[in-house]
Structure 1
Amino acid sequence: MTALSHGTGIPVGPVDDLVPGEGRAYAVDGHQIAVFRMTDGTLRATDAVCPHRGGPLADGQFDLAQIVCPLHQYAFRFSDGGCASDGIGSVAVHRVEDRDGEIVLWV
């Protein structure tokens, strides 16, 4: 997990802009962060770029446990950003929350 550089987080937009089951990339402090709204309404966030070949993770399929890169189907766990496939690397997992209807990120 990445270090938290902002004690209060950074608002990036309304939660309602993400329908359940959708992901979207946001630019935050020079980083591309993918935010995912789970079907249960909770949020998850990772780096937006796959370490394998730069695939757009916000466009991938996901469930409560993982995001799958749409280019080569490598899966990254939301719990720690790790990939089950050896040699691919990992993605940073970022703290994200719904604060009064706003998506708030820490990078």
Structure 2
Amino acid sequence: MTEFVDIGALADIPVQGARLVRTAKGCIAVFRTSDDRVFALDDRCPHKGGPLSEGIVHGSSVTCPLHNWVFDMNTGEATGADKGHVGTYATRVEKGRILIDASLIARSHAA
């Protein structure tokens, strides 16, 4: 069973925005959609290393700010003709707080 750790308030992330979380396993982009769903993905686009946390959130997708690759935040898969994948991580929202897979946070802190 996955254990979760609180990383902050949902209100700390703008609607259709993101925040960067530095973890023991690298930088994770935590996204908030227009309907308050939360997703966590590796922050690095596999195409050119673009910071997905600076991308455009639309629906349950994010577009890389460097070369417009679009990733489904549910699966981490690039959509369209692009082939690529980024890691996804378990999240949930409880009482307005964002919880993320605790195994990511060991020996680190949120940025």
Give the secondary-structure state (helix, strand or coil) at the position aligned to 2:89. Answer: coil
Deviation at 1:10, TM superposition (A): 2.2
> How high is the TM-score relative to the length of structure 2?
0.80
CA distance in 2, matches of 1:9, 1:34: 16
1:100 maps to which of 82, 95, 104? 95
Q: Give percent identity, aligned residues only.
A: 30
> How high is the TM-score relative to the length of structure 1?
0.82
1:81 equivalent in alignment to 2:72: no
1:8 equivalent in alignment to 2:3: yes
Structure 2 gaps, min length 5: 105-111
Deviation at 1:31, TM superposition (A): 2.1
Counterpart residue number, 1:70: 65
Counterpart residue number, 1:31: 26
Question: Greater shift after overlay, 9-18 or 50-59?
Answer: 9-18
Give the secondary-structure state (helix, strand or coil) at the position aligned to 1:19. Answer: coil
Deviation at 1:20, TM superposition (A): 1.1
Task: Could you list the structure 1 runs, at least 4 aligned residues long, displaced by more than 3 angstroms after superposition.
Answer: none
Corresponding residue pairs, total = 101
Alignment root-mean-square deviation, CA: 1.7
1:20 maps to which of 5, 15, 21? 15
- Partner amino acid, structure 1, of 2:33: M
Deviation at 1:78, TM superposition (A): 1.4
1:3-47: CA deviation from partner (whole Å, max 9, x where unpaired): xxx832122122111121111111122321111111111211111
